[in-house]
Amino acid sequence: MSAEATNPATPGPMTPGAQRRRGRPRIDLRRLGRAALLGPTARDRLPDAIGHVAEAHRAHHPDADLDPLRRAYVLAESSHRGQMRKSGEPYITHPLAVTLILAELGAETTTLTASLLHDTVEDTEVTLDQVREEFGEEVRYLVDGVTKLEKVDYGAAAEPETFRKMLVATGSDVRVMSIKLADRLHNMRTLGVMRPEKQERIAKVTKDVLIPLAERLGVQALKTELEDLVFAILHPGEYAHTRELIVSNASRGDDPLAEVAEEVRAVLREAGLQAEVLIRPRHFVSVHRVSRKRGELRGADFGRLLVLVNEDADCYGVLGELHTCLTPVVSEFKDFIAVPKFNLYQSLHTAVARPDGQVVEVLIRTHQMHKVAEAGVIALGNPYAPPSEEPVDGERADPTRPGWLSRLLDWQEAAPDPDTFWSTLREDLAQDREITVFRPDGGTLGLPAGASCVDAAYAQYGEDAHACIGARVNGRLATLSTVLSDGDTVQLLMGQDPTSEPSREWLEHAHTPVARIAITRWLAAHPSPATPPEAPAATPRPSADGPAARPAAADVVVDQPGATVRLAGCCTPVPPDAVTGFSVRGGVVTVHRVACAAVARMKGAGRAEVDVRWGDTTECRVTLVAESFGRPHLLADLTEAIALEGVAIVSATVEPPSQQRVRHTYTLQLPDAAHLPALMRAMRNVPGVFDVSRAQHPATAP
């Protein structure tokens, strides 16, 4: 059986003329949707009401058990009974139409069952528990996922929070979003009864959120119809103009698309290639786009040819014949079979030129590819597959949990409030092109076009990316601001210091919400008390207070001239650490790293912070801990490595080995703080040493 016979949602092999007169590619869906709307809903006519749904469902799933659909319909119909839509129709027409849309696209029985019930919990006495008891946990989960949050409880945040809830639910089961998209499509089809302001508001959310989601989930059939409905509401003038163009083109005598289609059929017949050649009229938005691009439209601009074949290999066979026997426009050739788009779409795209100069675009795909192109995850996702525990590498690794969805779920958790979530979601979805970069370990990262190394760092490491110190792009050292291209190999260099800090400047290069939110959050939690190290500073004065006192790289405190500065032994700050100070006895100010636990403790105790900043003296003292596997000569090798770096050892402690592991703690005097990373690297290179880090606690442990 061909896809044409099993999938009434796809344009059947009707004559080009008949299809073009209809003017809209999605006409079959709409016709059937209307049939469901008009269908009788009285109990004695029950089989008729659900009949269209059952028929469409059986066409895709011949063995489907229709009993859950009947039961769901009975419950939905009886509980919605008496409720009317704004249009005056019985409410049940809505869930029926939504379910029919999904059935047409090939959704499986559980989705359809939940779709019939999708508004019951929100609008009727039916409870989620009842849904679970009668239809099982999966149906309950789906119904819950699409149920709106109460405006009374959430106020203005109700809509953003509802979407957030829906996205989270979609992360575990993509069918939630399938139902939501079909629900929105039917609501958009019947939006005419609403006040114009409300129509516009709903159309805008549809444009910003639902349409990009439909595209990313590959549900082309829903996406194109939603686009046209939004177009008609938001740009009525241009919509009317486009309609005129389409109508007047259809009334023209000649049809270049039909002529080329005939030619193509002949060529393929000759070559012995079995294929269906169809004409796909462009939807309104597509015609509008083409007319903006090309100015005046010619007949061939109003549609494209679609060549459907049985086997993948036949696609290339067809391509070869077209390129040999017709005049190909090679610049239009794209291979989305070898290099599929992020949303599962696969096809060959090419174009052929007619003798009169008109260019006809041709799409070549198998029936299976066509089904996926139209219905996306609704047709493809295996909803019963357990959610993958592994992080998603490629965009195609798991069609039901694509990479972009994982990223979206990552940052939504960190979004501090509904407004930020809502505006960031729209922004994220507006970034429609994606790139794939490779990690040295062979994994991949999917990022929006324009993403930088900062974005890659946060995509890979989450908040641990705060410790990123640089990157290699295609083997070369690169700054974190480097914008990545599709196919780049990116190795992120991570600092070993767990208290490393992101730079405010990173925000300028952060393109993705996950990076921006993480950096902004960190900066908000760490208001910087220190100005940059290049700030001019007064001469530091040594303190007489204790062994840590020394000619410090820290400034004399701006608002306390002459104060003695002591770098805290607990966190041994060095430039350019962000630092803060506290006055202690005797006019001494101790300087801590802002991330030091002592800072939190003192602030918690109500101690006032003192503004401090680094001076231009770069000599510094630091305490390093080297974790190693015990072996002979380790101490000698380590101290030699330190000495070779020109660093003086102030003190050293070696703890007794435990389980073959030894910890050496060195307090060191560096001539230049900037030398610290090189020193730590040199120490790490000593055989047996597996980690070198800055001390978090007093060098002499209590």
Q: Catalytic residue numbers?
A: 122-123
Q: What is the 3-state secondary structure (H, E, C) of 536-578?
A: CCCCCCCCCCCCCCCCCCECCCCCCCCCEEEECCCCCCCCCCC
Q: Which is nearer to Mn ion, 183 or 428 (CB)?
A: 183
Q: Which is nearer to Mn ion, 146 or 305 (CB)?
A: 146
Strands 579-584 and 588-593: antiparallel
Q: Which is nearer to Mn ion, 119 or 225 (CB)?
A: 119
In three-state secondary structure terms, 305 is strand
Q: Which is nearer to Mn ion, 183 or 276 (CB)?
A: 183
The H or E element spanning position 663 is strand 661-670
What the block records as the tokens of 404 is 């972009």
Q: Which is nearer to Mn ion, 19 or 190 (CB)?
A: 190
CB of 398 to Mn ion, least distance (A): 28
CB of 58 to Mn ion, least distance (A): 24
- Sole residue written with tokens 């490629």: 394
Cα 8 from Cα 687, distance rounded (Å)? 69
CB of 179 to Mn ion, least distance (A): 9
Q: Which is nearer to Mn ion, 119 or 645 (CB)?
A: 119
Q: Which amino acid is at 94?
A: H
Residue nearest to Mn ion (CB): 183
Q: Which is nearer to Mn ion, 83 or 651 (CB)?
A: 83
Phi, psi for 6 (deg, rounded to 5): -90, -15
CB-based contact 140:126 (threshold 8 Å): no
* Cis preceding-peptide flag for 657 (omega within 30 of 0): no
CB of 36 to Mn ion, least distance (A): 14
Q: Which is nearer to Mn ion, 119 or 395 (CB)?
A: 119
DSSP string covering 122-171 = HHSS--HHHHHHHH-HHHHHHHHHHPPPPHHHHGGGHHHHHHHHHHHHHH
CB of 377 to Mn ion, least distance (A): 20
CB of 82 to Mn ion, least distance (A): 17
CB-based contact 540:554 (threshold 8 Å): yes
- Sole residue written with tokens 């027409």: 93
CB of 191 to Mn ion, least distance (A): 13
The upper half-sphere exposure of residue 220, i.e. CA atoms within 13 Å in the direction of its Cβ, equals: 18
Cα 359 from Cα 245, distance rounded (Å)? 18
Report long-range pairs for 313-316 (Cβ below 8 Å, ≥24 apart): 314/273, 314/274, 314/275, 314/366, 315/348, 315/364, 315/365, 315/366, 316/348
Residue among 23, 109, 128, 97 nearest 60 (CA): 109
Q: Which is nearer to Mn ion, 183 or 374 (CB)?
A: 183
Phi, psi for 690 (deg, rounded to 5): -110, -15
Cα 250 from Cα 94, distance rounded (Å)? 33
CB of 123 to Mn ion, least distance (A): 9
Residues of this chain that interact with Mn ion (CB under 5 A) are 119, 183
Residue 535: DSSP 8-state:
S
Phi, psi for 223 (deg, rounded to 5): -60, -50
Helix-, strand-, coil-residue percentages of the chain, each rounded to 5: 50, 15, 35
CB of 25 to Mn ion, least distance (A): 24
